[in-house]
């Protein structure tokens, strides 16, 4: 298995076109990762994911650790085999879910203590444990455990969380390297994907000076690449763009940059314009289940009565399965009737739209027309539901 690598092939302004290599294949960047929370991207099969063009998916360590458990998955041969997906997988560390989902969370220097949202059972996730769990899952890219805090956070609280995240990152890296060493490997951990890479996470809230310090100290530790955490958590879009751009400019140019948890289609383009290479977000899948379809002119709420007899496709420009086979009227009917097939069809379209947007972005960078695409997008795409 090839180890992790990244090759930057084209630049267009700050936008970058490249390719990541992982043990389970390559990913063209900028790339978007559908979120496969608990071993499935909600509503679709793996083949449907392949067909919409997903090159990599994200798995949530918090969920998989609680159910069915990383040890069971390791005994099954790792997450790829367990879920039947041969392409690359990135796993998060669980930090964000502990922050957003778990009950009675208590952060200590040792790690994050929390109660499961499923059964109230008590758990302790340390930087080492989060690294071990991901080694057992065998994802191609593992993330370090970081401390996520509510925003906007006062400077002192943001500094404290950033500094702890740096100390945790150092411990996670040490553990990761121990797991790589067949002789020094800690007992009880099955490394199911020896070529796994590990990304560090930049924190610091919306405070640029903290972000700069986080970059310096996290880069010093030495990771395969770096992610930007703590954004897309309620701050205005412009602030997110500013912070992402500020961090991206300081990150090593020869490593991919991953903006975690972002975002709306226009967020993707604006972030690529600032040097971001990798994204994940639940919006295309979650909004699909809520009846929102993304189109080139903006989101469309399929439950709207005006679609009741609309025999046209959801997005006239879209060649996806849903748009070639289903009318707005049919999708509205399925949504109103609560038919799960409607969620599947909406998800197929939204994922295709997101992944197709990334394809258009990559092509524009290749041909040096990214700024034109960005302006076009600004003129034609509106965040407000256009129907």
By CB under 8 A, name the binding residues for its own copies.
38-47, 63, 67-68, 72, 75-77, 81-84, 308-309, 311, 321, 325-327, 329-330, 333-334, 336-337, 339-345, 348
Of the pair 72, 124, the CB lying nearest its own copies is at 72
The one catalytic residue in 12, 70, 92, 132 is: 92
Of the pair 46, 101, the CB lying nearest its own copies is at 46
Of the pair 168, 330, the CB lying nearest its own copies is at 330
Of the pair 221, 329, the CB lying nearest its own copies is at 329
Looking up tokens 């379209």, which residue turns up?
Answer: 349
The one catalytic residue in 70, 146, 277, 280 is: 280
Instruction: For the beta carbon of residue 248, count every other beta carbon within 10 angstroms.
Output: 23
CB of 387 to its own copies, least distance (A): 18
Long-range Cβ pairs for the range 156-162 (8 Å, 24+): 158/203, 158/204, 158/205, 158/206, 158/207, 158/210, 159/204, 159/207, 159/210, 161/203, 161/205, 162/203, 162/204, 162/205, 162/210, 162/213, 162/214
Of the pair 11, 321, the CB lying nearest its own copies is at 321
Listed in order, strand segments (DSSP E) in 184-233 are 197-202, 225-228
193: nearest Cα among 137, 128, 143: 137
CB of 36 to its own copies, least distance (A): 9
CB of 35 to its own copies, least distance (A): 13
* Active-site annotation holds for 238: no
- At 214 the three-state DSSP class reads helix
* Active-site annotation holds for 224: no
CB of 22 to its own copies, least distance (A): 21
Region label for 146, one of left (φ > 0), alpha (ψ between -120 and 50) or beta (otherwise): beta
CB of 118 to its own copies, least distance (A): 9
- Whether the Cβ atoms of residue 44 and residue 355 lie closer than 8 Å to each other: no
List, by residue number, the catalytic residues: 92, 280
């Amino acid at each position: 298995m090839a180890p992790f690598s990244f090759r930057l092939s084209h630049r267009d302004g700050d936008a970058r076109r490249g390719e990541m290599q992982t043990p389970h294949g390559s990913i063209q960047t900028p790339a978007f990762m559908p979120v496969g929370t608990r071993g499935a991207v909600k509503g679709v099969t793996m083949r449907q994911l392949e067909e919409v063009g997903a090159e990599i998916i994200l798995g949530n360590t918090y969920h998989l650790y609680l159910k069915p458990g990383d040890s069971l998955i390791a005994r099954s041969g790792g997450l790829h085999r367990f879920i039947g997906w041969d392409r690359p997988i990135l796993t998060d560390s669980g930090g964000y879910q502990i922050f957003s989902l778990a009950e009675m969370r208590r952060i200590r220097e040792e790690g994050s203590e929390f109660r499961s949202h499923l059964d109230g059972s008590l758990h302790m996730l340390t930087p080492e444990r989060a690294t071990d769990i991901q080694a057992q899952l065998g994802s191609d890219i593992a993330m370090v455990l970081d401390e996520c805090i509510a925003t906007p956070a006062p400077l002192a609280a943001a500094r404290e969380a950033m500094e702890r995240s740096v100390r945790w990152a150092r411990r996670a890296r040490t553990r990761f390297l121990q797991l790589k060493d067949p002789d020094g490997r800690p007992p009880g951990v099955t490394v199911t994907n020896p070529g796994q890479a590990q990304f560090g996470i930049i924190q610091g809230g919306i405070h640029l000076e903290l972000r700069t310090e986080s970059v310096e100290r996290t880069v010093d530790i030495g990771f395969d690449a770096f992610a930007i955490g703590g954004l897309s958590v309620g701050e205005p879009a412009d602030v997110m763009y500013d912070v992402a751009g500020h961090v991206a400019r300081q990150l090593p140019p020869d490593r991919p940059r991953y903006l975690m948890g972002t975002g709306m289609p226009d967020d993707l383009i604006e972030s690529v314009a600032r040097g971001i290479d990798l994204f994940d977000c639940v919006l295309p899948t979650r909004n699909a289940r809520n009846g929102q379809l993304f189109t080139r002119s903006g989101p469309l709420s399929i439950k709207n009565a005006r679609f009741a007899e609309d025999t046209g496709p959801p997005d006239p420009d879209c060649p996806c399965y849903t748009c070639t086979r289903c009318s707005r009227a049919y999708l509205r009917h399925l949504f109103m009737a609560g038919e799960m097939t409607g969620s599947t069809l909406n998800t197929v379209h939204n994922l295709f739209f997101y992944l197709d947007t990334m394809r258009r972005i990559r092509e524009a960078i290749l041909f040096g027309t990214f700024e034109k695409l960005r302006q076009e997008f600004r003129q034609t795409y509106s965040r407000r539901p256009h129907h």
